[in-house]
Amino acid sequence: MKSDGSNNKKRSFWLDQIERSVNLRWIINWLGLSTGFLYGELDDRLDLRSALQKILKKPVPKHVNFWFCFGGFTFLLFLTNIITGILLLMYYRPTIDQAYDSIVHITNNVPFGWLVRGFHHWAANIMVITVLIHMIRIYFHGAYKHPRDMNWVIGITLLLLIMAFGFTGYLLPWNQVSFWATTIGAEIPSTFPVLGKYFTYLLKGGDSVGQLALTRFFAFHVVILPWITVGLLAMHFLMVRRLGISGPL
Ligand code: HEM
């Protein structure tokens, strides 16, 4: 049996969390009410409902099954990471003196910080699995062939972007593992002929991984890669919509 002390500690921890979440619930309620109100007002003027119905009311072909959902699952995980990433940005500090401490602060002190960080971490990892299943589905259905070949190429770029997100995000906590993994990872391009060593230098911003590398990885992780991904996703979805989903086997 656990001692009274640890039970009290546990209870006060949960009470503390609930107490903090009251504010959160208030904020969510308020957002719900105000968007509901806004939606009605906007719909009155812009006729959003029928515009949305045109986009969303499209019958799903009979042959579409569970395996066709993995692109959507990947997108859902990407959205999760955009939202949790923005929340992490409220507390993360991208400097070599403060990055590690800010991550510890998020995990231990910020309300639900551990949860937000956990979601960001797991969504990023599970996304790699769902995107691979998505690719396997497309391969076995032959959906990579003309006229969807360009969408396969966009898909490969999206896969590379997901890996780039993983690589740049790994450095951000600025702990021993991230430092050494990046030191090794950033050396890989230097083995490519002619331009390789310049690319490595560009990534690290010098001879070793330091503040410039952290700044650059941060810029790639939170600004450059997300916007490129959003642009390519828009093209990916537009092509799915215009070409229609591939036919039955
Ligand atoms: C961020 C990553 C990705 C997201 C969010 C995404 C999302 C989607 C979605 C929602 C669809 C609709 C049909 C379905 O889900 O099966 C789709 C279709 C497609 N995706 Fe992706 N995708 C991603 C990466 C990839 C990759 C890595 C490839 C291949 C290299 C790829 C190639 C395709 C192709 C060829 C189609 C058309 C399939 C058809 O018409 O049956 N996608 N994608």
pLDDT per residue as tens digits for the range 206-217: 999 999 999 999
> How far does residue 228's CA lie from ligand 1's centre (Å)?
16
Provide the percentage of residues in the chain whose pLDDT is more than 90: 75
pLDDT per residue as tens digits for the range 164-190: 999 999 999 999 999 999 999 999 999
pLDDT per residue as tens digits for the range 91-107: 999 999 999 999 999 99
Cis bond before residue 94 (omega within 30° of 0) = no
Between the alpha carbon of residue 135 and those of residues 35, 67, 79, the distances in Å are: 37, 10, 19
End-to-end CA distance of the chain: 59
DSSP state of 224: I
Residue 212 Cβ contacting ligand 1 at under 6 Å:
no
Quick one: pLDDT at residue 3? 44
Which of 240, 241, 242, 246 has most ligand 1 atoms within 8 Å of CB, for mutation?
Answer: 240
Quick one: pLDDT at residue 11? 57
Residue 152 Cβ contacting ligand 1 at under 6 Å:
yes
Residue nearest to atom 16 of ligand 1 (CA): 68
Can you tell me the mean pLDDT for 15-42? 75
pTM, entire model: 0.85
Segment (H or E) for 230: helix 225-243
Residue 151 alpha carbon, nearest atom of ligand 1: 35
How many C-alpha atoms does 7 have within 13 Å on its Cβ side? Answer: 4
238 against 54, higher pLDDT: 238
Please check the confidence at residue 23 and state whether its pLDDT lies above 90. Answer: no
> How far does residue 23's CA lie from ligand 1's centre (Å)?
39
The beta-strand segments (E) located in 121-212 are: none
Can you tell me the mean pLDDT for 73-89? 98
Residue 239 alpha carbon, nearest atom of ligand 1: 37
**Helix (H, G, I), strand (E, B), or coil: what is residue 166?**
helix
Band of residue 6 on the pLDDT scale cut at 50, 70, 90: low
> How far does residue 179's CA lie from ligand 1's centre (Å)?
33
> How far does residue 120's CA lie from ligand 1's centre (Å)?
22
Please check the confidence at residue 17 and state whether its pLDDT lies above 80. Answer: no
Which of 64, 127, 163, 236 has most ligand 1 atoms within 8 Å of CB, for mutation?
Answer: 236
